[in-house]
Structure 1
Amino acid sequence: MPTFNKFHYEPLGAEDAVRFILLDPATCEEDPLSCSIIQYQRSEQIVDYSAVSYAWGDPEFSRNLEVKYDGDTSYLRITHNVDTLLRRLRAFSESHYLWIDAICLNQMDEDEKAQQVPLMGRIFGEAKMVHIWLGPEDDMTAKVFAFLKLASLVPEAKPQSKMARLVVDVMIKIFGSSRGFCELMDFSERPWFSRRWIIQEACLAQRATVHCGGYSIPLPLLAIAAKRIQTLDISSYQIKVMANLGRPMAKLTMLELLWNFHEARCLEPKDRIAALLGLVTDDHRLRLDYTAQWAELYKKTVSNIFRLGDNDTRLQVLLHLFEFGPVSLPEDIAYPSWVPDWSNSRQRRLPYHSHIRNPDTYEPYPTSLGHSAKIDLTFCHNTLQIHWRASTSGPRGRRVVWATRFGSPLQTQGRSTEQVINVLDRLFPPTSDSTLRVLAVSSLLKMIVEFRHSRRDQEFNNPALDMYIRSIISQRLPKLSNTSIFKSLRTLGSLLQEFCLFELESSEPGSETSTDYGISSQQLQVGDVMIPLWNGERMADTLYSDSNMLKKKQNRHTNNHHACGKAC
Structure 2
Amino acid sequence: MTSNSFRYLPLDPQLREIRLLTLSSGCPDEPLQCHLSTTCLTARPIYKALSYVWGDPASSKTPGNTLILDGHPFPVTTNLRSALRHLRPAAGGDSMCLWVDAVCINQGDVDERSQQVAMMRDIYALAAQVIIWLGEEDDGSNAVFDALPVIASRKSRRQYDDEGKDQEYCLDLMRQCGSFFFGLTDCHPWLSRVWILQELAMAKKDPLVVCGWKSVSWSTLVKAWRAIARETLANLGTRQKVREATSREKLESTSIGDNAESHSDGPADEDDDEDDDVEILAKVKIEVLDDLRKAVRSRGGESLRKLLLISRTSAATDPRDRVYGLLGLLEKDALDPGSSVTVAVDYRKPTSEVYTDAMAHIFSRGDGPYFLSGVFLPGVSAVAPHIPSLPPMTKQPDLPSWVPDFSRQVPDKATQPNGIRFHPPATMSASGAGTVCKNGRRLDDNRTLQVEGLLVDTIEQVMSLGTTLDASIENLAYLESVASDARQRPCLFRPSVAPLIQKFKNSEPLWRILISNKHFMSGYDPAPLSYERMYLSLLKQHAITAGGDPNHHNPDRAQRSEYELCLQSGVGQQSFFTTKSGFIGTCVPDSRRGDIIAIVFGSPVPFVLRPITQSGPAARGEGQTYSLVGASYVGGIMGGEMVDELYCEDLMDSTTFFIQ
TM-score of the superposed pair, with normalisation by structure 1: 0.72
Q: Which secondary structure does the structure 1 equivalent of 2:183 belong to? A: helix
Could you say which residue in structure 2 is the equivalent of 1:500?
A: 575
Map 1:197-212 to 2 at 5 A. Answer: 197-207=195-205, 208-212=207-211
Q: Which whole-Å deviations, capped at 9, do the CAs of 1:172-216 have from their partners, x for residues lacking one?
A: 3205x4x75323222342011111111111110112111111221
CA contact (8 A) 1:272 1:342 kept: yes
Q: Is 1:425 aligned to 2:481, yes or no?
A: yes
Out of 440, 444, 449, the residue aligned to residue 378 of structure 1 is: 440
Specify the alignment match of 2:84 in structure 1: 86
Shift of 1:301: 1.7
CA distance in 2, matches of 1:401, 1:326: 17
Partner of 2:68: 66
TM-superposed CA distance for 1:19, in Å, is 0.6
> C-alpha distance in 2, partners of 1:47/1:288?
25
Aligned pairs (5 A) from 1:357-372: 371=431
Matched, 1:524 2:592: yes
Structure 1 gap ranges (5+): 159-167, 357-365, 389-395, 454-458, 471-483, 507-511, 536-546
How far apart are residue 236 of structure 1 and its match?
A: 5.3
Alpha carbons 2:370, 2:602 under 8 Å: kept: no
Contact preservation (8 Å) 2:32, 2:85: yes
Cα distance, 1:273 vs structure 2: 0.8
| Aligned amino acid, residue 586 of structure 2 | G
Once the two structures are superposed, the pairs formed by residues 245-264 of structure 1 within 5 Å of their partners are: 245-249=292-296, 250-264=300-314
5 Å-filtered alignment, 1:163-312, equals: 172-175=171-174, 177=175, 180-189=177-186, 190-207=188-205, 208-228=207-227, 232=233, 233=242, 238-249=285-296, 250-280=300-330, 281=332, 282-283=335-336, 285-307=342-364, 309-310=365-366
Paired residues of 2:25 and 2:88 also in contact (CA < 8 A): yes
Quote the Cα distance in structure 2 between the aligned partners of 1:548 and 1:443.
Answer: 15
The amino acid that maps onto 2:481 is D
- Do the aligned partners of 1:531 and 1:552 also contact (CA within 8 Å) in 2? no
Q: Is the 8 A contact 2:458 2:580 kept in 1?
A: yes
Aligned to 1:341: 405
Name the aligned partner's letter for residue 318 of structure 1. Answer: L
Structure 2's unaligned 5+ residue stretches are: 159-166, 234-241, 243-279, 385-394, 412-416, 489-501, 523-535, 548-559, 625-652
Gap change, CA 1:325 and 1:554, over 3 Å in 2: closer
Deviations, residues 37-59 of structure 1 (Å, cap 9, x unaligned) = 1111234x242111111111233
Matched letter for residue 292 of structure 1: K
Paired with 2:577 and 2:383, the residues of 1 have a C-alpha distance of 27
Question: Are the equivalent residues in 2 in contact too, given 1:223–1:245 (CA < 8 A)?
Answer: no
Given that 1:241 and 1:261 are in contact with CA atoms closer than 8 Å, whether structure 2 keeps it comes out as: no
2:371 aligned with 1:317: yes
Deviation track 1:304-332 (CA, whole Å, cap 9, x = no partner) reads 2323x13xx12333135446768813999
Structure 1 pair 355/216, CA: closer, same or farther in 2 (3 Å)? farther
- Structure 1 equivalent of residue 74 of structure 2: 76
Asked if 2 retains the 8 angstrom alpha-carbon contact of 1:50 and 1:131, the reply is yes
Aligned partners of 2:352 and 2:399 also within 8 Å:
no
The alignment partner of 1:290 has SS state of: coil
- Inter-partner Cα distance in structure 1 for 2:377 and 2:226: 25
Distance 1:247 1:486 in 2: 38
Judging changes above 3 Å, is the alpha-carbon distance between structure 1 residues 287 and 440 closer, same or farther for their aligned structure 2 residues? same
SS in 1 for 2:294: coil
The Cα of 1:490 is off from its aligned counterpart by 13
- Tell me the SS of whatever aligns to 1:131: strand
- One-letter amino acid of the structure 1 residue matched with residue 179 of structure 2: C
Asked if structure 1 preserves the Cα contact closer than 8 Å seen for 2:578 and 2:585, the reply is yes
Q: Deviations over 1:521-560 (max 9, x none)?
A: 332325613317799xxxxxxxxxxx72212335686487
Amino acid aligned to 1:374: G
Shift of 1:222: 2.4
Q: Between 232-241 and 249-258, report the one with greater CA deviation.
A: 232-241
Q: How does 1:60-139 map to 2 (within 5 A)?
A: 60-61=59-60, 62-68=64-70, 73-92=71-90, 93-139=93-139
CA contact (8 A) 1:398 1:504 kept: no
Instruction: Give the distance between the partners of 2:423 and 2:596, measured in 1 at CA.
Output: 25
Q: CA deviation at 1:243?
A: 3.5
Deviation at 1:269, TM superposition (A): 0.8
Contact 1:295 / 1:327 at 8 angstroms: preserved in 2?
Answer: no
- Aligned amino acid, residue 451 of structure 2: I
- Whole-angstrom distance in 1 between the partners of 2:128 and 2:204: 7
- Report the more deviating stretch, 252-261 or 180-189: 180-189
Q: Tell me: CA distance 1:495–1:262, structure 2 relative to 1, closer, same or farther (3 Å).
A: closer
How big is the shift at 1:229?
Answer: 5.3
CA contact (8 A) 2:423 2:605 kept: no
CA deviation string 1:57-113 (max 9, x = no partner): 233123232233xxxx22212233222222322234222311111211112222211
Q: Secondary structure at the residue paired with 1:551?
A: strand
Q: Percent identical across equivalent pairs?
A: 23
Distance in 2 between residues matched to 1:131 and 1:172, nearest whole Å? 29
SS at structure 2 position matched to 1:51 = strand
> Matched residue of 1:530: which SS?
strand
1 CA distance for matches of 2:289 and 2:169?
19
Cα shift readout 1:238-294 (whole Å, capped 9, x = no counterpart): 344444354232231111111001111111110111111211244365211101111
CA contact (8 A) 1:386 1:564 kept: yes
Structure 1 residue 130 displacement after superposition = 0.8
Secondary structure of the residue that 2:295 maps to in structure 1? Answer: coil
Which residue number in structure 2 is paired with residue 329 of structure 1?
383
**2:252 maps to what in 1?**
none
Q: Does 1:352 align with 2:410?
A: no
Q: Which of 46, 52, 58 is equivalent to 1:48?
A: 46
| TM-score (structure 2 length as normaliser) | 0.62
CA distance in 2, matches of 1:89, 1:221: 20
What SS is found at the alignment partner of 2:358? helix
Change in Cα spacing, 1:323 to 1:12, as seen in structure 2 (3 Å) is same
SS in 2 for 1:108: coil
- Return closer, same or farther for 1:194/1:550 CA change in 2, 3 Å cut-off: same
Corresponding pairs, count: 489
* Structure 1 pair 210–263 and aligned structure 2 pair: CA distance change class (3 A): same
